[in-house]
Structure 1
Amino acid sequence: MDLTWRLIRGGGSRGLLGSSLTVVAVAVSTALLLFAVAVNVAFAGRAERAAWRNPVTATGTPRALEAVRVEFAGDRVITVVHVAVLGLGVRPPRGVSPLPGPGEFVLSPALARDPSAARRFPGKVVGTVGDDALVHPGELVAVAGHAPGDAVMTATWRGDHRLGVSATKVSGFAGAQDNMAVGYRVLAALAGVLMIVPLLVFGGAAARLTVARRDQRLAALRLAGATPGQVVAMTVAEAVMTALAGAVLGLVLYAAAAPSLQRIEITGGTWFASDLWPGILPVAAVLAGVPLLVGLSGIAGLRRVVVSPLGVARRATPPAMRFVRVVVLMGALALVPALGAGARPTTILVVLTLAFLALNFAGAWVVGLIGRISAAGARTPARLLAGRRLADDPKSAWRTVSGVALTGFVAGFTGILTPSAEAGSDRMTALLLHDVRVGTLVVLAVSFLIAIVSAGVTAASSVLDRRQTYALLRLAGTPLEVLDRARRMETLVPLTIMGGGSILTGVLCAAPFASLSPSRDGVLTLLCCVVLGFGGVVAAGALTRPLLRAVATDPAPRPD
């Protein structure tokens, strides 16, 4: 630990800048990972709080009657739960106090403040529907007390089942999660996969930032007598120290953003503050898991340093990657026909996760192929430099564009499934489609934030990795404009090809679901995604141009 800390400090300002890039990358990954986890916890909490309104038929002696009706006040939904007690000792639902008797009402705070409440519920208000019984803050809920023989408790409901149910004989008011609540949880899990997988990829890539500089340093130590165990231990120590600092910073960022996230409206309302707190155990798991992931990713590429430190020190070109990476992607895509309306949610999540990971696995191989083709057909110095760089180190080039490419997968998958604004023939199908649109925009926003941060951080890291090469080329007479143009080409060329391929892969994975929600806005969504993705990468490259100028004009370039 002491030697690792000395080496970090001994790297000077640029060495500290490289470590800072890792901290930033891990912080963004941690904050967004906490959000992805919190989304699933929040929907689970909503489903549990709303379960009491979905009555379950008594298996023994019934103790109460429960009927549910949904009304509308303009665009606002009012849920009215009618109850009638059949025996003594019936406990009210959690959050409802007390259980109303005949002619009495219990109202949620927002409904009690509504001017029309007295007209809609002309009886004695005896209590409050608290937060534990509400789906979201400001929800309009009333519990109406009745005698068992009242008309509402004996009538048969003949309307839409989503707007009400006939009175049910129940043993208590625990209830069960309804189909819509389960559907929202499945959609939340799907959104979690679409957000978490690129986050894990980005978090793992954070450990590989400035990897060339680190490998050179470790190879020198290995040649000086350091054992393989010492090299691995130093790598883990450096990765864990920076990742832990980034994880803590990410928790702070998420806590600062939580009040704004609470205002996102889903299922008709915003969120309670407690909804967006994942819980002690999930937070602890994230704070421990992120440094562990970064540490494992850091040692994953140490084989050459341990086995062939002289080759690393001499900057020998590593062996080419195998075509098996593409075979893995093809195998994952072959599972796509198993998806569709009848597929289990677990199957959908597993197949999408495999497709995501396989796309990331194959990306570096494709980038290397692009580099070889570009170098072979180069007609300008910038194109030759870009092609040779892509062919020599495709993994590093893929890390720069992987964020936007994987976001292309998300955009392709969600784009054709985004419901049109005019879709929906009634208010309840309309509310659901509104929620799907909002959820899609949230997923895309998170994905693009990952992509843009990833592009900026990896672009800066790439410049630091090659600072000696840039400086030597500049001293040899290469114009700075040529170096900058080559750097742009080695980003935009693979981004165009891999981004387009990722979008098509996402569309392919979404095709089995297209009949469920045909979209007229999908093309516009995809176009916006493409523009934002390219714009973000170009902007990230422009922001790192001063760093390129600084390292390229170093009058005495030397290795770390």
Structure 2
Amino acid sequence: MSAASSTVRRGGAAGLTGRRMRAATLVRLSLAGNRTDRLRTGLTAVSGLCAALALFAAATVGAIHGGHWIPDPAQDGSSIMAPGSEQYASLMLVEAGLRPGVIFALALLALPVLALAGQCIRLGAPARDRRLAGLRLAGATPGQAVLIAGAETAAASLLGAVLGFGVYLVLRVVLDQRTPDGRLLLPTDVLPHPLVIAGILALVPALAGGLGVLLMRRVLITPLGVVRRIRERGPRPWPGVLIVLGLVLFAPRTLDLLHRLDLTERVPGDGRLPEWTPLAMMGAGVLCVILGVVLGTGWISFTVGRLLRRYGRGPVSLLTGARLMADPWNGSRTLGALLAAVVFGAAALGYRADLGAEFTAYDRYNRIVSPRGGGMGAPEAPEFYYHGVRLAMAAVTIALLVAAGGVLVAFAEGIVARRRTFAAMTASGVPRRTLGGVLFWHTFAPLLPALLLALVSGAALVRTLRTEISVGGGPDLAVCADPAAPDLATCVTKVIADPFIVQPVPVPFGQLALLAAGALLAMAAVVGAGMLVLRSSTDLEELRAG
């Protein structure tokens, strides 16, 4: 508190106790702090850099022009691709209809990074609480405390975003590679609109500053940061409604129902919904499912804690149950980004299974209809679609790693903040392995059912589209009667019934299990690293005053 008080005296009465805080005073108060505060500032800046890079990459793909299909003026009834994107080697960048998926995958990477920034903001929270409480007791108003709490986080994120823009410009030069035929591997020839660049540079610090203010709300309410909480009942399972709503919105049958109810006639014009309506409904469905899974972790934590308190035997289970019931929303805060990545990954694996079933159905159909090959109606370039799924899973892997880093920061911060409590328990005879067991089960007890919920919800999104592939079943076909004929021109044809192929879409249990194993392995590494912090935080020296 002495550092805060001396800073207040240097700022003067007009700098702090007046209606408006001077900019110089705000900067000095925002940068005040100890070594932990500087570490938090550095980690927040790195998080802002990574988030800005992901958003700049997504904006770059959005800046590509051309690639959409337009009517061919030379021929009636045919279409050609509009020029402007033919210089790229990847079809994911060439075709306008595929670029939104790339943009979504890149924007997905920004979510766990922003969650990591939120965890970094919590680093050294007790010391910062005392510092801001000292400023409040010295005469700062709640509004001035809001400025200080938000400015120190926003300034670090702004620095990271600006550095991220610099790194982005350097990467455009370093990654400017071409294929042997002269096509670009990445869109290094385009830049986002200046307004988009300015928006990203402003969005990252605005979100980080908002998180900083939200996390410091207790100090803003009372200078001493004392908030009495009495939990009479736990969270309710209402997030399950969000999951069901998301599945309904994602299903194409919902749009068909709107047409059958003639709701489209209310739209002025030609009586049809806008072209972007299906994509908007599917995006809203994914968002609802992710929110339902993340928020539902609070109810899962409280329920698991209540079961451990009722049926647990031994200090580990009882202490774990008490901690889960006391703060059930801890799982939603710390595991939210990881669970969101798992939902997206499960949906991508379900889509890959759907693609495999479709290709298998067409292969079966073509073998029956045309043993000589050259079947009709089969999707082209299956490897291209599989490559898109692999890109999505690469994004999910990076998101899982970043989310695990955020959990590690929160895990270590929680141990350091309670180091004197842990040291006192160790001094009173509680074994370290008991404390380690409490921390382990406090993480994994709600994680296991929440992870299962995320896997089921993500896979169910794709299952709402279709559960089987149907090919054929149309009018009779004329096929070659002699497969050994020298060519198709001399082949004698015969008329057969069009075969009807039904191929069920399998549930990728094996791949979903691998995704779950990867998430659990990452969390096990996080807990293992946290145990090292626990060992140093339970030394008896932590009981010393000062």
SS at match of 1:555: helix
Question: Pairwise mapping of residues 132-171 of structure 1 onto structure 2 (< 5 A)?
Answer: 132=84, 134-137=86-89
Following the alignment from structure 2 to structure 1, what is the Cα–Cα distance between the partners of residues 468 and 98? 15
SS at match of 1:478: coil
Amino acid at match of 1:400: T
Amino acid at match of 1:468: R
Asked if residue 338 in structure 1 is aligned to residue 249 in structure 2, the reply is yes
Q: TM-score, normalised by structure 2?
A: 0.68
Match of 1:550 among 515, 536, 541: 536
Asked if residue 466 in structure 1 is aligned to residue 418 in structure 2, the reply is yes
Question: Pairwise mapping of residues 252-291 of structure 1 onto structure 2 (< 5 A)?
Answer: 271-274=185-188, 278-291=192-205
Q: Where does residue 101 of structure 2 map in the other structure?
A: 187
Summarize deviations over 1:150-186 as a string: whole Å, max 9, x none: xxxxxxxxxxxxxxxxxxxxxxxxxxx99x9353134
Question: Pairwise mapping of residues 128-527 of structure 1 onto structure 2 (< 5 A)?
Answer: 132=84, 134-137=86-89, 181-188=95-102, 190-191=104-105, 194-223=108-137, 225-251=139-165, 271-274=185-188, 278-310=192-224, 312-313=225-226, 316-317=228-229, 319=231, 323=235, 326-341=237-252, 343=255, 344-419=278-353, 424=359, 425=363, 428-515=380-467, 522-527=508-513
Gap change, CA 1:21 and 1:466, over 3 Å in 2: farther
Amino acid at match of 1:410: F
Q: Please tell me whether the aligned partners of residues 370 and 390 of structure 1 are also in contact (alpha carbons under 8 angstroms).
A: yes
Following the alignment from structure 1 to structure 2, what is the Cα–Cα distance between the partners of residues 500 and 260? 41
SS at match of 1:50: coil
Following the alignment from structure 1 to structure 2, what is the Cα–Cα distance between the partners of residues 264 and 202? 34
Q: Where does residue 149 of structure 1 map in the other structure?
A: none
Asked if residue 56 in structure 1 is aligned to residue 65 in structure 2, the reply is no
Could you tell me how far 1:198 is from its partner in structure 2? 4.8
SS at match of 2:351: coil
SS at match of 1:230: helix
Q: Please tell me whether the aligned partners of residues 416 and 523 of structure 1 are also in contact (alpha carbons under 8 angstroms).
A: no
Question: Pairwise mapping of residues 17-56 of structure 1 onto structure 2 (< 5 A)?
Answer: 17-39=39-61, 41=62, 45=64, 48-51=65-68, 54=69, 56=71
* RMSD, matched Cα: 4.2
Gap change, CA 1:65 and 1:183, over 3 Å in 2: closer
Could you tell me how far 1:500 is from its partner in structure 2? 1.1
Could you tell me how far 1:65 is from its partner in structure 2? 6.7
SS at match of 1:274: coil
Q: Give ranges in structure 2 of 5+ residues lacking alignment.
A: 1-23, 256-277, 364-377, 470-503
Q: Please tell me whether the aligned partners of residues 452 and 540 of structure 1 are also in contact (alpha carbons under 8 angstroms).
A: yes
Gap change, CA 1:3 and 1:181, over 3 Å in 2: closer
Q: Where does residue 171 of structure 1 map in the other structure?
A: none
Following the alignment from structure 2 to structure 1, what is the Cα–Cα distance between the partners of residues 383 and 323? 51
SS at match of 1:226: coil
SS at match of 1:455: helix
Q: Please tell me whether the aligned partners of residues 30 and 290 of structure 1 are also in contact (alpha carbons under 8 angstroms).
A: yes
Gap change, CA 1:456 and 1:263, over 3 Å in 2: farther
Q: Please tell me whether the aligned partners of residues 382 and 486 of structure 1 are also in contact (alpha carbons under 8 angstroms).
A: yes
Gap change, CA 1:370 and 1:215, over 3 Å in 2: farther
Q: TM-score, normalised by structure 1?
A: 0.67
Q: Where does residue 539 of structure 1 map in the other structure?
A: 525
Gap change, CA 1:379 and 1:322, over 3 Å in 2: closer
SS at match of 1:239: helix
Q: Please tell me whether the aligned partners of residues 49 and 135 of structure 1 are also in contact (alpha carbons under 8 angstroms).
A: no
Following the alignment from structure 1 to structure 2, what is the Cα–Cα distance between the partners of residues 386 and 26? 34
Q: Please tell me whether the aligned partners of residues 210 and 462 of structure 1 are also in contact (alpha carbons under 8 angstroms).
A: no
Summarize deviations over 1:438-463 as a string: whole Å, max 9, x none: 33323322332332222222222322
Q: Please tell me whether the aligned partners of residues 340 and 454 of structure 2 are also in contact (alpha carbons under 8 angstroms).
A: yes
Q: Please tell me whether the aligned partners of residues 262 and 276 of structure 1 are also in contact (alpha carbons under 8 angstroms).
A: no
Q: Please tell me whether the aligned partners of residues 404 and 523 of structure 2 are also in contact (alpha carbons under 8 angstroms).
A: yes
Q: Please tell me whether the aligned partners of residues 209 and 458 of structure 1 are also in contact (alpha carbons under 8 angstroms).
A: yes
Following the alignment from structure 2 to structure 1, what is the Cα–Cα distance between the partners of residues 468 and 53? 33
Following the alignment from structure 2 to structure 1, what is the Cα–Cα distance between the partners of residues 122 and 191? 30
Q: Please tell me whether the aligned partners of residues 408 and 502 of structure 1 are also in contact (alpha carbons under 8 angstroms).
A: yes
Gap change, CA 1:138 and 1:8, over 3 Å in 2: closer
Question: Which moved further from structure 2: 371-380 or 418-427?
Answer: 418-427
Amino acid at match of 1:339: F
SS at match of 2:352: coil
Identity of aligned residues (%): 22
Gap change, CA 1:138 and 1:367, over 3 Å in 2: closer
Q: Please tell me whether the aligned partners of residues 193 and 349 of structure 1 are also in contact (alpha carbons under 8 angstroms).
A: no
Gap change, CA 1:460 and 1:365, over 3 Å in 2: same
Following the alignment from structure 2 to structure 1, what is the Cα–Cα distance between the partners of residues 146 and 545? 21
Could you tell me how far 1:406 is from its partner in structure 2? 2.0
Following the alignment from structure 2 to structure 1, what is the Cα–Cα distance between the partners of residues 113 and 320? 28
Question: Which moved further from structure 2: 240-249 or 536-545?
Answer: 240-249
